[in-house]
């Protein structure tokens, strides 16, 4: 009798774990969800294609990037482990220079935040805007 209770309990626990994992995996994710654009003093951008970096401090540009990223709902995709190369690595910093968040924007519809790639469900990311800023500013080598 005790063996059946232990087995039933183990099976129930396993089912709960599987359901919780599925819910977590398939629930859309919003990046920078709890961040106010005014809390971000700068964004450090590293272009993985060119090896150059820049620091964005313009409040309008920061607000545009943050609002764009917050507006796009992302769904988890494939595992990002063992993938080399990327486009724009972004680190969001507060006034004291502390990192608030960081992740990679790989294209107009993909964010890489290890261990997953995330695909856009409802719009495009500010990838092209970052490319425009690359042409506007002189990158630090």
User: Is residue 132 domain-shared with residue 77, that is, in the same domain?
Assistant: yes
> Which residues in the chain belong to E strands, given as ranges?
42-47, 52-56, 74-79, 88-93, 99-105, 110-113, 116-120
Residue 34: pLDDT over 80: yes
**CA dihedral of 136, 134, 141, 90, whole degrees rounded to 10:** 130
Please list the residues that pair with 101 across neighbouring strands: 92
Q: Which residues contact 49 (CB under 8 A, 6 or more apart)?
A: 85, 87
Do the beta carbons of residue 48 and residue 89 sit within 8 Å?
Answer: yes
- Which has more pLDDT, 132 or 14? 132
User: Is residue 19 domain-shared with residue 62, that is, in the same domain?
Assistant: no
93-114 average pLDDT score? 95
> In the chain, how many domains are there?
2
- Which has more pLDDT, 19 or 88? 88
User: Is residue 88 domain-shared with residue 100, that is, in the same domain?
Assistant: yes
- Tens of pLDDT along 3-30? 555 677 777 777 776 766 655 656 678 8
Question: pTM for the complete prediction?
Answer: 0.80
User: Is residue 71 domain-shared with residue 41, that is, in the same domain?
Assistant: yes
- Which has more pLDDT, 112 or 81? 112
Structural domain including 71 reads 31-136
User: Is residue 3 domain-shared with residue 67, that is, in the same domain?
Assistant: no
Q: Domain for residue 141, yes or no?
A: no
User: Is residue 20 domain-shared with residue 52, that is, in the same domain?
Assistant: no
Distance CA 130, CA 53 (A): 11
User: Is residue 81 domain-shared with residue 15, that is, in the same domain?
Assistant: no
What is the maximal distance between C-alpha atoms in the chain? 74
- Tens of pLDDT along 41-85? 999 999 998 888 899 999 999 999 999 999 999 999 988 877 777
CATH number at residue 73: 3.30.1490
Q: Domain for residue 53, yes or no?
A: yes
101 pLDDT tier (thresholds 50, 70, 90): very high
Residue 139: pLDDT over 70: no
């Amino acid at each position: 009798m005790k063996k059946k209770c232990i087995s039933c309990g183990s099976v129930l626990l396993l089912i709960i774990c599987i359901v919780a994992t599925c819910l977590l995996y398939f629930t859309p994710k919003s990046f920078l969800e709890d961040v106010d654009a005014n809390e971000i003093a700068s964004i450090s951008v590293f272009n993985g294609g060119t090896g150059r970096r820049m620091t964005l401090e313009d409040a309008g540009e920061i607000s545009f990037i943050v609002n764009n990223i917050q507006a796009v709902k992302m769904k988890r995709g494939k595992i990002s482990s063992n993938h080399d190369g990327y486009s724009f690595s972004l680190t969001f910093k507060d006034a004291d220079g502390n990192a608030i968040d960081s992740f990679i924007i790989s294209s107009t519809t993909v964010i890489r935040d290890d261990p997953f790639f995330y695909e856009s469900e409802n719009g495009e990311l500010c990838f092209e805007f970052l490319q425009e800023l690359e042409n506007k500013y002189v990158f630090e080598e």
